[in-house]
Structure 1
């Protein structure tokens, strides 16, 4: 019988560099800018999410022209969900 053990190697202590970005609020005045702006925000948060692989990204439309792009633990890692605020 063989047994395999997966161990997570502890990260060395580091000095805090910058606060981790968990969400980005966006406001657009032109519909032409929405897609590019959301894509840029999602790309930025993908980099943050990939460091600890614990959550995905939630894009929420708050009202026309206003969005929040955030790391969300209810979204599986590697996925991006969309929502509309009530």
Structure 2
């Protein structure tokens, strides 16, 4: 898992692992988003078992959106 302040990349070997990692990362970024008060969270599936989770100005504050890249 690559971690920066506003973006995290996740690689998981199973659906269960992906769910656990995504939930943890989204919770962490939700806390940061609340402090910033202006970003939503964008989850992008970039490949099998691979995801990017990031704060995004394109997503309304308080919302988490999912997409594929």
> TM-score normalized by structure 1?
0.73
Provide the aligned length of Structure 1 versus Structure 2: 66
> What is aligned with 2:49?
65
- Spell out, residue by residue over 1:31-69, the C-alpha distance to the aligned partner (whole angstroms, 9 max, x if none): 221111101000000011101211100000000100000
- Spell out, residue by residue over 1:15-40, the C-alpha distance to the aligned partner (whole angstroms, 9 max, x if none): xxxxx711010001122211111010
Whole-Å Cα distance in 2 between the matches of residues 42 and 50 of structure 1?
A: 12
Unaligned runs of 5+ in 1: 1-19
- Relative to total residues, which structure has the larger helix share, 1 or 2? 2
Kindly report structure 1 stretches of 4+ aligned residues shifted beyond 3 Å. none
RCO greater where, 1 or 2, for CA within 8 Å and sep 6 or more? Answer: 2
- Relative to total residues, which structure has the larger strand share, 1 or 2? 2
Whole-Å Cα distance in 2 between the matches of residues 78 and 32 of structure 1?
A: 25
Whole-Å Cα distance in 1 between the matches of residues 13 and 31 of structure 2?
A: 27
**Rg larger in structure:** 1
